[in-house]
């Protein structure tokens, strides 16, 4: 079964750091670009970052640029999101999602995890 | 304020046809393909339409997508109660060099 499972969410103080992980199974992880998408409570979807299969292409939303780093370990079938200098507005459910095909993040995200919740509050 | 503009709500009765619009600009919808996602209450989003009008395997043909210029639409025919969900359009934006979503449309089946 194709599956993505996020972990690492939690409560963190403003200015703090957190590292999210996404474990992939059931498909050849190293062949797919991956994404992080977040959803603040009661709000819509917001794309956060994308990384191509071989890490050649990496993109960030302006709202997180300079504070967040996406990475992957193809040997461990895992995707990561290192989040620093966290703010209250980063509070959200964070989903990892597989890009359907290709090296670029515009073909559609066809597999999603269940999400992990990040709460930034003092 | 989302880069792509969707109506916040839509509604219809069972069996009806409903359309949801998504308006963008030349830097996103006007030059890149549009994808649509369905998010049922309390669940992760699901890819509903990719490449403007292509349905992934398993998506009923009641769902269809179209694009014209800088706008796109999602149509749902033969509306069913289980279609009650939030729907989001998305596209790549060449100016922002990032993926953008619409604000989402909450579909209510009356």
* pLDDT tens by residue, B13-49: 999 999 999 999 999 999 999 999 999 999 999 999 9
Residue from A103, A105, A109, A111 to probe the interface with B (highest B Cβ count within 10 Å): A109
Contact assessment for residue B76 and residue B17, using Cβ atoms and an 8 Å cutoff: yes
Contact assignment for A106 to B91 by CB distance below 8 Å: yes
pLDDT at A78: 98
CB of A4 less than 8 A from some CB of B: no
DSSP-based three-state secondary structure for A31:
helix
| Mean pLDDT within A56-74 | 97
Q: How many CB atoms are located within 10 Å of the residue A31 CB? A: 11
What's the full length of chain A, in residues? Answer: 122
How do strand A78-83 and strand A68-73 relate by DSSP bridges?
A: antiparallel
Listing from the earlier edge strand, what are the strands of the sheet with B18-23?
Answer: B18-23, B71-76, B63-68
CB of A42 less than 8 A from some CB of B: no
Q: Quickly state the pLDDT bin for A106 (edges 50, 70, 90).
A: confident
> What six digits make up the tokens of B21?
């619009």
| Mean pLDDT within A81-90 | 98
Given CA atoms A121, B1, B2, B8 in this order, what sign does their dihedral have?
positive
| Mean pLDDT within A2-30 | 98
Q: How many CB atoms are located within 10 Å of the residue A115 CB? A: 20
CB of A99 less than 8 A from some CB of B: no
Q: Quickly state the pLDDT bin for B76 (edges 50, 70, 90).
A: very high
Q: Quickly state the pLDDT bin for A104 (edges 50, 70, 90).
A: confident
Rounded Cα distance, A116 and A96, in Å: 9
Contact assignment for A62 to B96 by CB distance below 8 Å: yes
Residues on chain A touching B51 (C-beta within 8 angstroms): 107-108
């Amino acid at each position: 079964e194709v599956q993505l499972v996020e972990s690492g969410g939690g409560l963190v103080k403003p200015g703090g750091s957190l590292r999210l992980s996404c474990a992939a199974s059931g498909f050849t992880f190293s062949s797919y670009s991956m994404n992080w998408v977040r959803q603040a409570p009661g709000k819509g979807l917001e794309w956060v970052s994308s990384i191509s299969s071989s890490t050649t292409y990496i993109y960030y939303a302006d709202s997180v640029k300079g504070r967040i780093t996406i990475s992957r370990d193809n040997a461990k079938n895992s995707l990561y999101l290192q989040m620093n200098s966290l703010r209250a507005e980063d509070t959200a459910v964070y989903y990892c999602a597989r890009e359907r095909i290709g090296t670029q993040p515009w073909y559609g995200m066809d597999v999603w995890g269940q999400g992990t919740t990040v709460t930034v509050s003092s | 304020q989302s880069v792509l503009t969707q109506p916040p709500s839509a509604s219809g009765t069972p069996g009806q046809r409903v359309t949801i619009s998504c308006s963008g600009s030349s830097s996103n919808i006007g030059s890149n393909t549009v994808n649509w996602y369905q998010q049922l209450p309390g669940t992760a989003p699901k890819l509903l339409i990719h490449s403007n009008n292509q349905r992934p395997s398993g998506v009923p043909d009641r769902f269809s997508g179209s694009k014209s210029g800088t706008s796109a639409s999602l149509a749902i025919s033969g509306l069913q109660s289980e279609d009650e969900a939030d729907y989001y359009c998305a596209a790549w934006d060449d100016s922002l060099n990032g993926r953008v979503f619409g604000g989402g449309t909450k579909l209510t089946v009356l």
